Amino acid sequence: MEKSTILKLFLNLGLQIDQRALNILSENPDILELVLKTEKESLPTVITGEFLESLLNKTEEQKISVEQLSKVANYRYEFIRDLFITQQKLNNLLSINKITDKTKQFSVIGIVSEINDILTLEDVTGQAVFEIDKEQSKYIVEDEVIGLVCERKFGVNEVKQVIYPDIPIKKEISKTQSSEKCFFISDIHLDSPNFNRNYYKNFLSWIKEQKNIHIFAFGDISRKKEDIIKFISDMPQSTRFYSKADALKPITLNIQNIQILLSPGEHLHHYMNLWNTTLETTIINLLKKRNLNPILTPSSYNNAFLLETIPDIIVFSGVNKATTINYKGITIVTNGSFLTEPIYWLINLQTRETFKIDFS
């Protein structure tokens, strides 16, 4: 549909529409139909791109069937269960339906269906409740798969220890044979009214001096196509450039024998608030779970954040806070932002050294 027709349509409804939303609706008639089917009382007076994204997320969430959720939950349960069995961390392992009044000391593996004053765990054979103290339960979330070391007394299952699948310690840190340098940038927000042009000029001056470098640009470059095209054209020819302007799910790349995981990180703030933890502690907690976003949501219900293979490097966008961590041989970095602190990271894959690059 022509943009002028869409504008008239919304004006007749007493609504306004911003440029980004207009572009989206003109190219996606299905989304336009979805908006028009929404009750007017539920629509904002100004239809924005952000509103369309939230509307689509709600629609996707409604589309996720019980069968799909069950399939996802079973897949992650079987994957983590197999890890536990291989690691041999759990003794006297029982399935939930084998717990009886005669059971004393035992272990179980299950997916968390509820965590409040008590813990409800389920596996493919059934469901059971467990008493657990607050210290042990403070980092447990629904939908994750955990192991429990338990003791049964007077018909009550008491948790003695919570076991997470965790990351195995790497015996040898992976490095490239030749000199390979990677620079990771995201969260530039070229279309934001708060975009800092001085930071961007500093970035362009720096990048033009670099030779034989891999540039990975992913997540929140801009919501405008023309900005992204201009950004790509600003990259010097002497670099090897990879761009994924809107990273909604993790992406895995390989350079020689190094596996790099580029992941959106907006959800990290939810876990930081839930656990009242620092960014660094939050990331390590999630790594121990072998799942960077274990709570089932429209973005994670397909197990996209499940760490089936262990990357050498993990880079998060969307956090707007720069930090670097090393956990069991994995280099983890989170990017800053051109709206907050313009701090980013350069990693030498031959030495695995990490260098802080500040464009302020």
Check pLDDT > 90 for residue 10. Answer: no
Among candidates 261, 266, 277, 272, which has minimal Cα distance to 330?
A: 261
Distance CA 25, CA 31 (A): 6
Among candidates 315, 250, 299, 268, which has minimal Cα distance to 53?
A: 299
CB 127 within 8 Å of CB 98: no
Residue with tokens 């983590």: 80
Check pLDDT > 60 for residue 64. Answer: no
Q: What is the mean pLDDT of the chain?
A: 90
Q: What is the DSSP letter of 244?
A: E
Instruction: Give the pLDDT mean for 82-91.
Output: 92
Distance CA 101, CA 92 (A): 15
Instruction: Give the pLDDT mean for 345-356.
Output: 96
Instruction: Give the pLDDT mean for 162-169.
Output: 94
pLDDT at 61: 53
Amino acid at 291: N
Question: pTM of this prediction?
Answer: 0.81
Q: What digits encode the pLDDT tens for the residues 128-137?
A: 999 999 999 9
Q: What is the DSSP letter of 173?
A: -
CA atoms within 13 A on the CB side of 29: 3
Q: Any idea which of 50-54, 117-121, 233-237, 319-323 has the lowest mean pLDDT?
A: 50-54
CB 299 within 8 Å of CB 267: yes
Residue 130 makes CB contacts below 8 A (sequence gap 6+) with 118, 119, 120, 121, 148, 150, 157, 158, 159
Q: Which helix (H) or strand (E) holds 153?
A: strand 145-153
Check pLDDT > 90 for residue 238. Answer: no
User: Residue 101 has which token pair?
Assistant: 């009044």
Region label for 36, one of left (φ > 0), alpha (ψ between -120 and 50) or beta (otherwise): alpha
pLDDT at 66: 65
Residue 334 makes CB contacts below 8 A (sequence gap 6+) with 265, 268, 279, 283, 315, 316, 319, 321, 322, 323, 324
With pLDDT > 70 as the criterion, what percentage of the chain qualifies? 95
* Cα distances (angstroms) measured from residue 213 to each of 24, 181, 230, 335, 357: 34, 5, 20, 18, 14
* Cα Dmax for the chain: 74
Instruction: Give the pLDDT mean for 227-249.
Output: 78
Distance CA 226, CA 232 (A): 10
Ordered domains of the chain (ranges, CATH): 3-63 (no CATH), 67-163 (2.40.50.140), 181-358 (3.60.21.50)
